[in-house]
Homo-oligomer: A and B are copies of this chain.
């Protein structure tokens, strides 16, 4: 079921990504790739640069250096790439719009203004395609409900449908399940898995639960300090390797607490 790791055929290839905010270097030559049909998890401590790397790929941040290639096309820094979609932790649907309109919005990039100035202008074919995407995530029957009325897990699936409607080849997900309860998390991870398996998307997900990462992904990338620490098939990543990612952060925390206790004593 899980595709082999074929670096040569990578759909998304990120090479030498660098990004600094002021003095602070957040990404330090990050390089990785994700192939079609593959789910890759990114693990790393808070502040290790996971979100920043994804935001650079989709053009929400402008990297200082590095190239991003999708399907052989090199992206311009700081600009959106139509073939790359993103699913956020906080989902970011427009809560007052219907589920269907939210999904249609994924296609805005390829619509002229005359067919997108209002939801009333969305062409019939687009609405039909959006219904198909909603069906794919199992929510076709909720199409006309307000997006804000759905539960967290359902909203996250609508966000995936919006990404599908964008006709993306690469799906990036930044902590897609950390706001969800365990049952909803399973649903969403299953969906990501099936998008890779059945639809051939390249999926990269930032996760904070190593267990989920091991169960649902082909490869796991470990980030620390803005660069890659390991890149291994999911089965080969043991508990120690994972713990190593978070250790420096833990130590810092403990040092701070010790200092505070001393001050009190």
Interface residues of chain A, those whose CB is within 8 Å of chain B, are 138, 151, 153, 181-184, 186-187, 253, 257-258, 260-261, 264
Do A264 and B181 touch (CB < 8 A)?
Answer: no
Partner of A257, one of B138, B183, B253, B261: B183
- Would you give 8 A-B contacts (Cβ < 8 Å), ordered by A? A151-B260, A153-B260, A181-B253, A183-B258, A183-B260, A183-B261, A184-B260, A187-B261
Chain A interface secondary structure, helix, strand, loop or mixed?
helix
A264 near B138 with CB under 8 A, answer: yes
Which residue in chain B gives the minimum CB-CB distance to A190?
Answer: B264
Q: Are B257 and A181 in contact (CB under 8 A)?
A: yes
Provide the bound-state CA to CA distance between A257 and B183, in Å. Answer: 6
Hey, which chain B residues are within 8 Å of A151, CB to CB?
260
Do the beta carbons of A257 and B187 come within 8 Å of each other? no
A187's nearest neighbour on chain B, judged by CB, is B264
Which residues of chain B are near A184, meaning CB under 8 Å? 260
**A258 proximity list for chain B (CB < 8 A):** 183
Residues of B close to A187: CB separation below 8 A:
261, 264
Closest 3 A/B residue pairs (Cβ): A183-B257, A183-B261, A138-B264
For the complex, what is the distance from the CA of A192 to the CA of B49, rounded to whole Å? 41
